[in-house]
Every structure is written in structure tokens, then in C-alpha cells.
Amino acid sequence: MKYQLTLHPVAGAWHSERLTLTIQGERIVDVEYRPSVGDGAYARRLMQGGITGALQAARQVCPHCHVAHTLAFSLAIEQLAGVTAPLRAQAVRVMLAELERATSHINTLAALATALGLTDAARLSRLTTRLGLIALKLSGNDEAALIRPGGLLADPSESALAETAQAINDLLPRMIAVAEQSIPRRSLLARTVDIGVLQPTAARQFGLAGPLARASGVATDVRIQEPYAAYNILAPALVTEEGGDVHSRAVVLLLEAIESLRLVVRWLQNLPIGNVYEEVPLVAGEATVTVEAPRGSLRYTVRSDGQRLTGVEIGIAPQLDRLLARSLLQQAAVDDVMLIAISTDPCTACWQSATYLIGRS
């Protein structure tokens, strides 16, 4: 018997993905899933309308990763010109990126809790909303719109910085309480431990990155191994788990969200004084920059003839593709399918905007 699951897109510009499962009894015996990496159409949008139009297009790729896309594009333009944004701007960029990471992770955990039928789902959804509001408070409007090549569009006000610090200091104890109450809960352990196991060797073979890889014991994080922006000054703690199952993936997402907020607090306490923008000319050449998006590596390559952008490529870390879906879902119980799929945190918007997968031919 065959069943089809539809993975709905998170951005209106993209279509949904379909996962076809062949089932015998209560087990999955075959998986058909062939998500396609983008054909370059979206990357070509970044070459229209100059730098301003490219920034707007980068912000619209994905509602959960728009800071990461805007930051990667801006860093690539800066590298092309040999310009480094002022340190204050770099610090604010890091804070916005970490707030986005925390929001994305908690949003995924809320979806997982909903699939599990846990009462924590409502609390996690409220945390997601709260984190989004904190990011808007810091940025003044759209957090991704604050980032541009050369630094920031504007310097956050002192009142916005103070309110952000107060809000995070109020929120952190609640998130730590969620972790302390949820991680050892027996009912959660029974439904998530040894479910959808991905061994470290398989994670490396698939070229995985981000929380998905770190939950399988693969210690990879661009922020730490190849620091950009201000991560070479203040870096997050690396969060890894060894289980490689749904529980490990949930734990990594939760602990990383907490660590992201801790890093924001550290920067708020040590925010440099100075300008937030440096003029960046568009020069001829090519530049490539990789950042750590909420789901792993995100790479932007830009090319210019000195007058306009002549090429843009977007690379993302492999997500829930055909190979990974078959590895995780074959022989899994039908009741566990949604838990496994959600725990991998796939993003159809990023997937379909990409022109290639990092580490894959």
C-alpha cells in the first residue's frame, strides 16, 4: 500500500514537495522522494535591479533564514571589494543571526511537539512569537532589512538595545526551564529515542551539516571552524549529541537556541562603539562566502564586471533528500514518519533557491 505525504512550502514562491511511502503492515518498505535543487532562476533574480534589488531578493528567499541569506550576500559583496564592515555592525549582524537561529529552532520544536501531541507545543509556539518580536525590536522593523553590504542601514537605538537585553534576560530562564523539564521526560524519551537514527558515518557520507549533523556527533559549525562577521571575537559553544535520533535532534535544536540567546546577551554587554557602515564599491571579480544558517552551511558566490552583478550562485548543505529520506524512513514505523521528517528540519524554500548542494557533485 502506498501513502503520500505533502511537505508544504514555507515561502509562497515555492511549490510543495511530495513524499511517497510504500507500507507493509505498520512498517515502511520503500520511499520515493526526489526534491529538486533550484534551476538557478531565483539566483538570477539577484542579478536584477542592482545591489538594492539583490538585497531585496535575498531577504525574500526564506522567512526562516532571511537574515542568513542577506548576511551571506552582503559579506560576499564586501569580500569582493576588500572592505570589512565596522565591528559594531558585525556585532549587531551576529545578534540578528542568532535571534533568527533561535526562532527557527524553537519553531521546529513547536512543530515536533504538535506531532507528538505534547502540551508543550503551545508554550513553544509562544516562545517562537516572542523571539520574533525581540528581533523586530532590535532591528526596528525587518531584521534582514537592517543588513546591507558595508554594515547596517541604521544603528539600533539605545532604547532598542536595552529592551532587547531585558526581553532576552526574561526569556532565557523560561527556555532553560523548558530544557530541564522536557529533555529527561519519560514520555518524550519513549517516543523519540532510537527513532530515525542517523549514524555519524552516514551523516558524513551524506555531507550533512548544521544541527542535523551535530545531532549525529559530527562536530561541524562554520561559526567556529571558519568564523566570519564577529564570531572570531565571541563564539558560541558547540552543541553536539551522539544518538543521531529524533531525541538527539530535538536536544540539539533546543540547546542551540539557548546558546544563541546567551551569545546575544554577551554581545549586548560588550557592544563596540563606532560607526555601522562603510562604503562598498562594486568591483570586478568573484567572491565566495559561507555562513552558518539555521539549518547548516549557506554559501553565496557573486561575480561582477564592476558595473553590475554578472553571476550569483547559492549553495546549501544537503537536507532531507532522496538518499537521506530512504536511510531514515525505510523500516520505520508509520507512526514515526512525521516525527522523523520534522526532526530533520527541511526547508523547501532554501532547497529550491539553491543552485547546488555543498559537498555534493
Residue of 137, 95, 65, 14 whose CA lies nearest to 269: 95
d(CA 215, CA 275): 39
* Cα 251 to Cα 236: distance, rounded to the nearest angstrom: 16
The pLDDT value recorded for residue 217 is 98
Whole-angstrom distance, CA of residue 60 vs CA of residue 121: 27
Cα 65 to Cα 104: distance, rounded to the nearest angstrom: 8
Alpha helices in 153-199 (DSSP H): 158-182, 186-192
Residue 238: exposed, middle, or buried by beta-carbon count in 10 A (0-12, 13-18, 19+)?
middle
Per-residue pLDDT, 264:
98
Half-sphere exposure of 249 (CA within 13 A, CB side): 29
Cα gap 235→6, rounded to integer Å: 38
- What span, in angstroms and rounded, lies between the C-alpha atoms of 348 and 119? 27
pTM for the whole thing? 0.93
Q: Which residue has the cell 555543498?
A: 358
- Predicted confidence at residue 89, as pLDDT, reads 98
Q: Which three cell numbers stand for residue 311?
A: 553571476
Q: Which are the contacts of 334, defined by CB distance < 8 A and separation ≥ 6?
A: 3, 21, 23, 26, 27, 28
Digit-by-digit pLDDT tens for the chain (361 residues) are 766 666 554 444 445 567 788 888 889 988 887 665 666 777 888 888 788 888 888 888 888 899 999 999 999 999 999 999 999 999 999 999 999 999 999 999 999 999 999 888 999 999 999 999 999 999 887 767 899 999 999 999 999 999 999 999 999 999 999 899 988 989 899 999 999 999 999 999 999 999 999 999 999 999 999 999 999 999 999 999 999 999 999 999 999 999 999 999 999 999 999 999 999 999 999 999 999 999 999 999 999 999 999 999 999 998 888 888 889 998 999 899 989 999 999 887 887 788 888 876 5
Number of C-beta neighbours around residue 158 at 10 A? 8
Q: How far is CA 288 from CA 51, 62, 225, 304, 315, in A?
A: 16, 20, 16, 12, 10
Residue from 136, 132, 139 nearest 154 by CA: 139
Domains of the chain are: 41-318 (1.10.645.10)
pLDDT score for 38 = 65
pLDDT of residue 10: 47
Q: Which helix (H) or strand (E) holds 142?
A: none
Helices (H), the chain: 41-45, 50-59, 66-81, 87-116, 120-139, 158-182, 186-192, 200-205, 210-214, 222-225, 246-269, 322-329, 337-343, 348-353
